[in-house]
Amino acid sequence: MSAEAANHTSGHLTDEHGRDHVSPGEIAIGVIIGRTSEYFDFFVFGLGCVLVFPELVFPFADRLTATLYAFAIFALAFVTRPIGTVLFMAIDRRHGRAAKLTVALFLLGGSTAAIAFLPGYATIGIWSGIILAIFRLLQGIALGGAWDGLSSLLALNAPAGRRGWYAMLPQLGAPLGFILAAGLFAYFEGLLSRGDFLDWGWRYPFFVALTINVVALFARLRMVATHEFAELMETRELMPMPVLELVRARGSTLILGAFVPLASFALFHLVTIFPVSWINLFTERSVSEFLMVQAAGAVVGFGAIVTSGLIADQIGRRNTLLVSGGMIALFSLSSIIAPLLFGDSLAGQTIYVIIGFGLLGLSYGQTAGAVASSFGTQYRYTGAALTSDLAWLLGAGFAPLVALTVSSQFGLAWVGVYLLSGALCTLAALGIDRRLEGRYS
């Protein structure tokens, strides 16, 4: 029996030379584990900006102002993420993908874990906020470096007619990461007294991050070491290109591509981080109970991401993005007409979360494939990374800060206006570049 036949039943293949081959399913598992670790780190920080840092780091300000300060620090990672991409692309070219991922993931997990030991304002004064901002900047740089090309590897190994299905698999890391982060915070916030939670309970989710990132690192390195990955590197399909060369050759694609997923990215933090801040500041609802409602919404989002893959394989990725963008626009209009979260209505808040996560899943499920598809073979790896960075910066980075600012000053309906602007940008970008229809099909 040949080596390939002997290994086929396990899903792991070797060729006649004994080189490792992996199935799309194995690649998918590695990608999902990696994305889950990244989203866990970011959601843990985002929830900390609502439940911990206002009191721990900014006790001199009122609750609303302190939360806005924390959201300003939250946005810093999205500013430095493109810088991280540029920096780690250089490391990739000189030292290889394995070295790049090892440094980036240890930096990401280490920065998040280090926050677990952050002293409060009562101990070190303003330095508490400065140190927090530094670690947040490092998180963004590390996330830029964590771009591994595995999503492109997965898409290129997907069976014919199943590109939409395999394109959605990396996105499953988002709901999984949120469920883990929300579950940990809900457990400690609901179990402990406020004093114990602020003293030590909140630190545990941050400390867990390093362990999760180590697991993700080994899962990714296994994929990077495969024969398929080496072949795609040799044919330049996963080669890191100099950023200036990319900008000169594909600058317009880079900019336009950043607006394609804007509706999804704008909605991203408006159903995860922002609602927790509103509940915490302006309602009497239990935050831990609301986090569990959001976790249930994330399960709905998980199912919607899976559904997006099925739909995209039937009607095309571009049409899926158009439909989901239109639905988000309608959702934002309903939020303008009927105030977001329906004030103090528990049923209304729950409905908003469930519908919001469902729409997020349908749209977000195809954004990674859309971004990667916008570039030719030579520029796919670097182009997809930078396009994603810009989309996150424009659509999601400042969303909690903007949403809380406008809603606290002018009412919740203005959050719907903000979301509508993102949906219109997505629809306009899809309409401007008709070439995307061929690329996304």
Question: pLDDT tens digits, residue range 240-283?
Answer: 888 888 888 888 888 888 898 899 999 999 999 999 999 999 98
Residue 192: what pLDDT?
95
Element (DSSP H or E) covering residue 396: none
Q: pLDDT tens digit string along 23-55?
A: 667 777 878 888 898 899 999 999 999 999 999
Q: In whole angstroms, how far apart are CA 110 and each of 74, 177, 247, 271, 348?
A: 17, 17, 32, 27, 39
96 versus 130: which is more confidently predicted? Answer: 130
* CA 187/CA 202 separation, integer angstroms: 10
Q: pLDDT tens digit string along 74-117?
A: 999 999 999 999 999 899 888 888 888 889 988 998 999 999 99
Rg of the chain on CA atoms, in Å = 21
Backbone angles phi, psi at 362, to 5 degrees: -60, -40
* CA 180/CA 196 separation, integer angstroms: 21
Single-letter amino acid code for the residue at 133: A
Q: 164: pLDDT confidence band, cut at 50, 70 and 90? A: confident
Query: Judging by DSSP bridges, how do beta strands 12-14 and 20-22 pair with one another?
Result: antiparallel
Element (DSSP H or E) covering residue 161: none
Mean pLDDT score of the chain? 85
- Judge whether 345 and 290 are in contact, CB under 8 Å: no
- Judge whether 259 and 428 are in contact, CB under 8 Å: yes
Residue 378: what pLDDT?
74
Residue 10: what pLDDT?
41
Single-letter amino acid code for the residue at 123: T
Single-letter amino acid code for the residue at 359: L
Hey, what are 16's tokens? 């006649």
Q: pLDDT tens digit string along 400-413?
A: 999 999 999 998 88
410 versus 335: which is more confidently predicted? Answer: 410
Q: pLDDT tens digit string along 354-397?
A: 999 999 999 998 887 666 666 766 777 888 888 889 989 998 99
* CA 209/CA 45 separation, integer angstroms: 11
Q: In whole angstroms, what separates CA 147 from the centre of its chain?
A: 12
DSSP state of 379: G
CB 409: neighbour CB atoms within 10 A? 8
Residue 336 has pLDDT above 50, yes or no: yes
Helix (H, G, I), strand (E, B) or coil at 20: strand
Give me the residues paired with residue 13 across strands.
21
Map tokens 């102002």 to a residue.
Answer: 65
Residue 234 has pLDDT above 50, yes or no: yes
Burial of 23 (0-12, 13-18, 19+ CB in 10 A): middle
Residue 8 has pLDDT above 80, yes or no: no
* CA 305/CA 301 separation, integer angstroms: 6
* CA 198/CA 201 separation, integer angstroms: 6
Residue 191 has pLDDT above 60, yes or no: yes
Q: In whole angstroms, how far apart are CA 125 and each of 60, 122, 128, 194, 202?
A: 10, 6, 6, 21, 20
Q: In whole angstroms, how far apart are CA 377 and each of 92, 232, 234, 283, 331?
A: 18, 10, 12, 51, 36
Residue 347 has pLDDT above 70, yes or no: yes
Q: In whole angstroms, how far apart are CA 95 and each of 103, 230, 365?
A: 11, 14, 32
**Region label for 386, one of left (φ > 0), alpha (ψ between -120 and 50) or beta (otherwise):** alpha
Backbone angles phi, psi at 366, to 5 degrees: -115, 5
Residue 257: what pLDDT?
84
- Average pLDDT on 321-327 reads 93
Residue 207 has pLDDT above 80, yes or no: yes
Q: 153: pLDDT confidence band, cut at 50, 70 and 90? A: low
Percent of the chain with pLDDT over 90: 51
Q: In whole angstroms, how far apart are CA 194 and each of 61, 123, 156, 201, 361?
A: 18, 18, 50, 9, 34
Hey, what are 353's tokens? 């979360």
- Average pLDDT on 300-307 reads 96
